[in-house]
Amino acid sequence: MYRSWQVARVGTYSASVYPTARIDGEDSAPLASAVWNQRPCLGPPNLSDVADRTTQAEALIGIWKLVSWQVVGEEGHPQSVFGLNPKGYLILTREGRSMALMTAENRKGGIRDAERAALHRSMLAYTGKYRIEGGHFITTVDVSWNEAWNGSEQRRHFRIEDDRLFIDTVPGPSIVFPGKTDFRRLVWERDK
């Protein structure tokens, strides 16, 4: 297996770089894309920029266990709506697939409609192909716990410190407070 670089110029002010893996003579899906805006394309991109973005993409790959999940509403106060000890996993594959499943703490099972509705309100799950753009990873959702998410793009700002992954969603319609705007702040730790 080796890596090759595909460089594509887009317009006058941006370039995209896609590191690809080659396995058994065939190209696999792009591992990441790094996009530079507001900069003329007078030559190849700065290789240290490419290396930094490739390192970020490589560092994201793996299985992450949820540590905390907070909703920050319009008033700016974080709320742990799934409790102080939510459960969940985020899986990011080398092939560009993400899978996320999060549930509130202390859920109780049930088969009646009201119990099932409460279970649905206390979870979040989706999967899709993801790509890297700067300090964001964006998932194009193809399967979700909420059909309204299918076909959407879920943008997540991220940073990694040691074995911790810090994620902020972009502000948008709240999934827990209908009619409100919020963003979510999540902390994950690498599953060992």
Q: Where are the domains of the chain?
A: 2-59, 61-128+140-190
Burial 16-37 (b: 16+ CB within 10 A, else e): bbbbebeeeeeeeebbbbbbbe
At 2-53, the pLDDT tens digits run 233 233 323 322 233 333 332 333 333 333 333 223 333 344 444 445 456 5
At 47-83, the pLDDT tens digits run 445 456 568 788 999 999 999 999 998 888 899 999 9
Instruction: Give the pLDDT band of residue 176 (cuts 50, 70, 90).
Output: confident
C-beta of residue 176 within 8 angstroms of C-beta of residue 70 = no
Q: Residue 12 and residue 36: Cα distance in Å, rounded?
A: 11
**First-last CA distance in the chain:** 25
pTM of this structure: 0.71
* Region 61-128+140-190: CATH code: 2.40.128
At 130-157, the pLDDT tens digits run 999 989 999 999 999 999 999 999 999 9
- pLDDT the model gives residue 57: 80
